[in-house]
Structures are given as structure tokens and as C-alpha cells.
Amino acid sequence: MASIRKKGRGYEARVKIHGTTRSKSFATMQQARAWARSAELDIVATPEPVSVSVPATTSTTSITLADALKRYEAEVLPKLKEHATLAGFAMVFPPAPGKHRNSAVAAGIALPV
């Protein structure tokens, strides 16, 4: 959502979408409006970065989906408010332990069922 306000002799355009804020000052209202439109499109078109951490001692090809789900259940779920209702969710459809490595899944390789 863009907002434009008078600031001294110029105008300040401010765009805020999904927590991302950008602002810039302009001499005319028309310049501010044009920039605000392009900034809105730019923010919407730019994907948000995703952060994934893997322990340095573990190779990414040696982690199975079952290992990842067990680790999530042990490390992340206890911190959630809904932990009691989510306990055991990771093992509802347990994958065959060690059968498929995550590198095959990440590469989009069709795995046998």
C-alpha cells in the first residue's frame, strides 16, 4: 500500500507491503505516484528469501526425510504453543527410514513408491 505526503517543498512516497517498507522523496506529486506504483510492483515481484540451516557436521546427502522430521519434532515443536496438539504429527506418515536421501527429493527425482 502506498502513501504520499507533503514534506517541505516536495513529496514523500512510502510503500509498505508484507512488512517490506520503501520510501523516497520527490519534487512533484506525479513523480511520487509513478515511483510508488513501480515500487509496489517490485516488492510484489521479489520473492522473500528463505533461510535453511544444516548442521556443519552433517552432509546434506546423509539426512533422510525421517531424520529431518524427527529433528523438527524434537527441536521445533516443543517451542510452539500448539505442541500438545501437534505432538506425533511428524510420524503420521513415517517414511521408510534411510530409504530416500533428501538430495534425490531436492533434485526432483521421481522416487519409487
In a domain, 8, yes or no: yes
Nearest Cα neighbor of 75 from 53, 46, 44 is: 53
In a domain, 54, yes or no: no
- How many other CB atoms are there within 10 angstroms of residue 4's CB atom? 16
Find the domain containing 17 and state its range. Answer: 2-45
Q: pLDDT tens digits for 9-65?
A: 999 999 998 888 899 999 999 999 999 999 998 888 877 666 666 666 655 567 777
CA distance 36 to 38: 6
In a domain, 74, yes or no: yes
In a domain, 67, yes or no: yes
Q: pLDDT tens digits for 55-92?
A: 666 555 677 777 777 887 788 777 776 665 555 554 55
In a domain, 53, yes or no: no
Same domain, residue pair 102 and 64: yes
83 grid coordinates: 505442541
User: DSSP state, 57?
Assistant: T
Domain count of the chain? Answer: 2
